[in-house]
Amino acid sequence: MKLFILVCVLGLSLAANPRLQKMEEMLNDLTRQLVSQQFYVEERIRSDGDSGIKQVRRLSAGTDSFNSETTSAIHSHPNYKDVIGFGEVNAVLNGVEFRTRHNDYSLEMPSLHKANYHLTEKIPYPQVPPSVTAKHTVPEQIAEMKEYFRAFRLQNSTIRNYKPYFKPVLCYMEGNWEWDTKHLHEPFHSETHHLDAMDYDNLADKVRLMSYTGMNDLHEDLAFLPKKIMDIDSNGKPRYAQWIYRILCNPIHSDVPLKVFKPIDDVAFRVTRKYNMSTYSRTEEARFTVAASANQAEFDEHEGYGKFEDRAYAKGLLDSLMHGVPGANNYRGGQHDTEFNHTALVAGEGRDRPENTARYHREYKLHHGMQINQRGFSDSNLWMAQNHQNKVASVILRSCKTVGTLKTNCTSTTEKFSYAIPLEIIYLNPLHSWNPYNLDMKNESEVTENGRKGDSHNANLAYKGISTLHFYQTPVEFFGNVPGQDVGVLDPKGAIHRVMASGIQTILPKIPGVGEVRQRWPIYPLHREGDSVGKEADALLEMLNHMSSMSPIFQEPATQGKHETVQPDLHFRLTSSHMNPLDRHDHEFFVPATDWEQLLKNDVWVHVLTAPTEGENQESHSHSLQIRLDKHTHKPIIQKCDDQNGKCWDGHTDFEQVTFHEF
């Protein structure tokens, strides 16, 4: 008891100690300085560029800087039912820079019925057209289904009414600050990846170690997600906030014609591959922008996308599409922004109507005029949505009126926002639902039991049905019997059927009588595009690509003379392999045209490195190949693969050339 009284007295003495009070004030000032320092870092990033993708993981290098990866992060996992391939990226959202894990996100949207924080639900796939299911034989169904794909590729509803069966969805990356900085949770679902840590502090420690050593996480399950002091409470105690992000999709309830997509030039990639714009726009690496309005684009049936006149605009089609995307309140939550006694109104309208700021928007107007205001100081890609979720960290503005030495009429304003950028528009199609052989959907262990690996000639090795991880149900004849991409699956009666993957792909294999159909249209913005230097570079690129029409802009006219035309790199793909413990997969590689010519004329070997595979359950890997002519057949063959003669360690023995076809 005496000890307790002594401690209390000592505590009171310390509380009254002016030196201790001074130290508390200094600690409070230092905490506020940390808040200001973090804000300074974010402001510096905001001034460096727009919200958008900044970097992707480097996998290769070369004699020039543009020989390494640029900004393409998308890839395909068509063998999965619900996986959309998207790799690791450095991204910026409203000045917050972070690095993601390998994403491979699922086809999910915010909850339609509840406003629970981060509650989602699956997006349904389009149904099979009744005119297809009405056919009595599989060949007849194939022929009818092709007509729908031909109508979609040509955007011609007179061939078939394709619009109800080719449904566009807008997929986006969203980020916000959370109050919970301890309990790690997955902000969005992925079939293949997850954050590999016990809590956020453990995640930060792992990322620091990886950055310090330069190592890459084998499973690509780490992410750099910053933490900061968000606020200081009335007792001077700091409140910490954790940055999180997620990737979701939003169904678009109207048709988005293909003519609104304009290819964005990636001259670094084109120079590396020696591609012209026509070829580049048909690669998986191509990136697009959305026209200001559907009426702006002049439809070109041969090209498969519109021709555009570049122009500035305040509000366009992409704004309308993003406004259909809800923030953290989900679809059921509406909200109005009334900060500083001004209500944010819908931009671009003559009448004054409050903006539903719970949906993503980047422009608004105030009641005192028609001028459209943009969110942010100078960020063309900053879409924001307000919310009232308790878990979302807020910025609180406290203000008082001072009368003499007293503060009166104190008020506080609390704001909660999340931020987003569009990633891509995906056209879901009937192949995801079409199952003409009535193959059973089973669990994974049943499909691959007893070492089954999809052999199309042996009933004991064919897949026993399909699963979400072995999603093969499209008849191989639909794609014209593509070598190495089909598997064998048993129907309920035990008959083998040759089928191909039915999941989401960037570009579908060529369909006989139809051509190649692009399913995924990447539209994500880049961080550098908001930099003044980036704008100058893009303008210069536009001048160089259109020297004739831009000739009045040049200070001196460009000279015309004889020049040699560079030939594009040759594109090849290794034949598929599914040697244990790996699943079925392939690789692609490129050979410069000059090297290929030397190989054919002078019988020299060519060294290439394949791109890392994105197979089913194996880790990403690549191969080092030596290619030369066979002395007997004079056909190019694999001489060595990873220092092994004639064959790769995982079973690849041959390769085939990939050609690009018109849409």
The structure tokens listed for 60 are 């290769």
| Mean pLDDT confidence for 390-405 | 80
| The pLDDT value given to residue 44 | 92
pLDDT at 293 over 60: no
| 101 and 21 together in one domain | no
The pLDDT tens digits of the residues spanning 616-649 come to 444 567 788 888 887 777 788 888 887 788 788 8
397 and 265, same structural domain?
Answer: yes
- The average confidence (pLDDT) of the chain is 83
Residue 440 and residue 335 in one domain: no
CA 417/CA 360 separation, integer angstroms: 10
Q: How far apart are CA 128 and CA 145, in angstroms?
A: 9
Q: Same domain for 8 and 115?
A: no
Taking the C-alpha atoms of residue 322 and residue 36, their distance in angstroms, rounded to an integer, is 32
pTM score over 0.75: yes
Domain contains 25: yes
SS3 45: helix
Report the range of poorest mean pLDDT among 16-30, 459-473, 531-545, 586-600.
531-545
For the chain, what's the residue count? Answer: 663
Instruction: Say what the pLDDT of residue 3 is.
Output: 42
What is the rounded CA–CA span in Å between residue 70 and residue 54? 9
Pairing of β 606-609 and β 588-591:
unpaired
The boundaries of the domain holding residue 539 are 527-560
Per the listing, tokens 């910025």 go with 395
SS3 content of the chain, % helix, strand, coil (to 5): 25, 25, 50
Co-location of 553 and 622 in the same domain:
no
Residues 191 and 258 both lie in one domain: yes
Q: Do 364 and 305 have their domain in common? A: yes
Same domain for 234 and 212, yes or no, is yes
**Closest among 628, 594, 573 to 274, alpha carbons compared:** 594
Proportion of the chain above pLDDT 70, given as a percent: 86
Establish if 408 belongs to a structural domain: yes
Q: Identify the three-state secondary structure at position 541.
A: helix
Within a domain: 137: no
Q: Is the peptide bond before 430 cis (omega within 30 degrees of 0)?
A: no
Higher per-residue confidence, 586 vs 96: 96
Write the CA distances from 100 to 222, 248, 560, integer angstroms: 7, 14, 47
The answer to whether residue 654 sits within a structural domain is yes
394 and 474 together in one domain: no
User: What does the DSSP 8-state code read for residue 65?
Assistant: G
Where does the pLDDT of residue 585 fall: very low under 50, low under 70, confident under 90, or very high at 90 and above?
confident
Which of 376, 465, 451 shows the shortest CA–CA distance to 421?
376
For 628, phi then psi, to 5°, come to -150, 175
> Where would I find the beta strands (DSSP E) of 494-595?
496-501, 520-522, 570-574, 588-591
pLDDT at res. 303: 42
pLDDT at 170: 97
| pLDDT reported for residue 2 | 47
Specify if 350 maps to a domain.
yes
Give the 3-state DSSP-derived string for 263-306, with helices as H, strands as E and coil as C: EECCHHHHHHHCCCHHHHCCCCCCEEEECCCHHHCEEECCCCEE
Structural domain total, the chain: 5
For 157-176, what is each residue's pLDDT tens digit? 999 999 999 999 999 999 99
- Per residue in 110-140, pLDDT tens? 999 999 999 999 999 999 999 999 999 999 9
Query: Is pLDDT larger for residue 311 or for residue 354?
Result: 354
223 and 316 part of one domain: yes
Instruction: Identify the band that residue 392 occupies on the pLDDT scale cut at 50, 70 and 90.
Output: very high
Looking at residues 459-474, what average pLDDT do you find? 94
DSSP H/E element including 595: helix 593-602
What CA–CA distance (Å, rounded) separates 52 from 91? 6
Instruction: Flag whether 417 is in a domain.
Output: yes
Residues 61-93: pLDDT tens digits? 666 666 566 777 888 899 999 899 998 999 999
Distance CA 98, CA 55 (A): 10
Q: What is the Cα–Cα distance from 46 to 92, expressed in whole angstroms?
A: 9
166, 218, 335, 419 from 247: Cα distances, Å: 22, 22, 22, 12
Give all strands of the β-sheet with 486-490 in edge-to-edge order.
472-475, 496-501, 486-490
Radius of gyration of the chain (CA): 29
How confident is the model at residue 342, as a pLDDT?
Answer: 79
- Residue 399 confidence (pLDDT): 74
Residue 142 included in any domain: no
Predicted local distance difference test score (pLDDT) of residue 295: 47
Per the structure block, which two tokens stand in for 345? 């109104």
User: How much is the pLDDT for 297?
Assistant: 45
The reply to whether 620 and 646 lie within a common domain is yes
Q: Which of 103-107, 189-193, 319-323 has the lowest mean pLDDT?
A: 189-193
| 585 and 555 co-located in one domain | no
Specify if 648 maps to a domain.
Answer: yes
